[in-house]
Amino acid sequence: MPSDHDKLAVILDRTVAGGDRGYVPGEPLTGVVRWSLGDVHVSFVVRLFWRTEGKGTADSGLADELSFEGMPGSGEQAFVFEGPSGPYSFSGDLVSILWAVEAIASPGKHVARADFVLSPTGKEVKV
Amino acid sequence: MTALPPPTAAVETPRGRPCDNPFRAQRLDALSFVEEAVRLDDVMQVLGGRRYRGALVGPHGTGKTTLLHAVGERLIGHGLSPMPLFMNTDERGTFPARWRVALRRAGRGDALLLDGYGHLPAWARARVRLTARSAGAVVVTAHKRCALPTAARTASSPALLRTLVTELTDDATADRIDCETLWQQHRGNLRDALRALYDLH
């Protein structure tokens, strides 16, 4: 049985400036969404956002969003986001700030996500 | 000769990232309802006999909100669209505007899931019951009996706490935690007990 990853995936291009999975502020994010959802027309949104995870209440912020309507049941779509300036990827005692590109496809509400690090060094800031 | 460290010296271990902590808030929020004191089928049967109107009653941290989500999922199977409304701690004693708007909009196809109904002032609870008459379902949470018929009484136990710890981690980790003491320390509040484990992990 195919996993959700086989049906929908977000693949980020690696960046030269920040190293593997790391992006520096302002650096454009490029990648592709790949999907295989059967013999249906597919709509999906691709969102660039940050979120917090940790002990307290979750917070999040949407940096940008792209919509694709009436796509074939399987295919691949490239995307480009203007690079966000912050907040930087971070981990302290109580909270982590995480950046991701997420694709949500319908029908079926399939979700795929690719996390990445945003900071001047390309590495998560740790306190 | 090199002096040995004192036997009580603290061993400093690197702290993990909050986003990797198994007891982080997002994982606690995502826990599924565990049937122990209450069976979901029984709750649905009671609600079904009362036009899907009822209250999930129990002390803090005994799974009322989790059960409410599970009821909402089941109501989808009955052709209803869940309309979850949540009350923040700092809104207690008020009748939030978003609740009033949602209540007015709710129709036959909607299932009102009111988490924190018990925190509304008495006049607002009466208004809810009146305004929500046309909704397809009205299920609320409360700490004590209220005007809506009680559909379930939630309760916790050390065994339930252990089940949740195991779900969040594994058997070996759960074995190392004294769930009985932890449960007593937090007076049966599962959420507080699991939150406390965040700092110990």
For the segment B36-56, what is each residue's pLDDT rounded down to a tens digit?
889 999 999 999 999 999 999
Counting every residue, how long is chain A?
127
Does the ipTM exceed 0.85?
A: no
Q: What angle do CA A62, A66, A68 make, to 5 degrees?
A: 145
Q: Is the pLDDT of residue B90 over 70?
A: yes
Which residues in chain B touch residue A58, judged by CB atoms under 8 angstroms apart? 25-26, 29
Residue, of A99 and A1, whose pLDDT is higher: A99
DSSP conformation letters of A82-119: PPP--PPPEE-SSEEEEEEEEEEEETTTEEEEEEEEES
Name the band, by pLDDT with cuts 50, 70 and 90, for residue A21. Answer: low
Q: Is the pLDDT of residue A3 over 70?
A: no
Average pLDDT along chain B: 89
pLDDT value of residue B15: 63
Q: Which residue of A has its CA nearest to B18?
A: A54
CB contact A95 to B (< 8 Å): yes
Question: Which two three-digit tokens encode residue B85?
Answer: 């409304």
What residues in chain B have their Cβ under 8 A from chain A's Cβ atoms?
Answer: 15, 17-19, 21, 24-26, 29, 195, 198-199
Q: Which helix (H) or strand (E) holds A78?
A: strand A74-81
Task: State the burial class of residue A45 (Cβ atoms within 10 Å of its Cβ: 0-12, 13-18, 19+).
Answer: middle
Residue, of B176 and B200, whose pLDDT is higher: B176
| Chain-chain contact of B195 with A55 (C-beta, under 8 angstroms) | yes
Chain B interface mutation, best of A53, A91, A97, A109, highest count of B Cβ atoms under 10 Å: A53
Which residues in chain A touch residue B17, judged by CB atoms under 8 angstroms apart? 91, 96, 124
Span B103-156, pLDDT tens digits: 999 999 999 999 999 899 999 999 999 888 899 999 999 999 999 999 999 999
Q: Is the pLDDT of residue A112 over 70?
A: yes
Domain A4-121: give its CATH architecture: Sandwich (2.60)
Q: Is the pLDDT of residue A121 over 90?
A: no
Q: Tokens 């299932």 sit at which residue?
A: B111
Write the CB contacts of A93 (distance below 8 Å, at least 6 apart in sequence): A127, B15, B18
Nearest-Cα distance to chain B for A90, in Å, is 9
pLDDT value of residue B199: 86
| Chain-chain contact of B18 with A92 (C-beta, under 8 angstroms) | yes
Average pLDDT along chain A: 88
Q: Which residue of A has its CA nearest to B195?
A: A55
| Chain-chain contact of B18 with A57 (C-beta, under 8 angstroms) | no
Which residues in chain A touch residue B90, judged by CB atoms under 8 angstroms apart? none
DSSP conformation letters of A19-47: -TTEE-TTPPEEEEEEEE--SS-EEEEEE
Distances (CA, A) of B66 to A1, A20, B62, B73, B130: 30, 39, 9, 11, 26
Q: For chain B, what percent of residues have pLDDT higher than 70? A: 93
| Chain-chain contact of A54 with B15 (C-beta, under 8 angstroms) | no
Sign of the Cα pseudo-torsion (B17, B19, B25, B28, in order): negative
| Chain-chain contact of A55 with B26 (C-beta, under 8 angstroms) | no
Span A22-80, pLDDT tens digits: 889 999 999 999 999 988 899 999 999 999 999 988 899 999 999 999 999 999 999 99
Chain centroid offset of residue B198 CA: 18
CB contact A109 to B (< 8 Å): no
Cα separation of A104 and A7, whole Å? 11
Which residues in chain B touch residue A93, judged by CB atoms under 8 angstroms apart? 15, 18
Which segment, A96-100, A104-108, B10-14, is predicted with the most confidence on average? A96-100
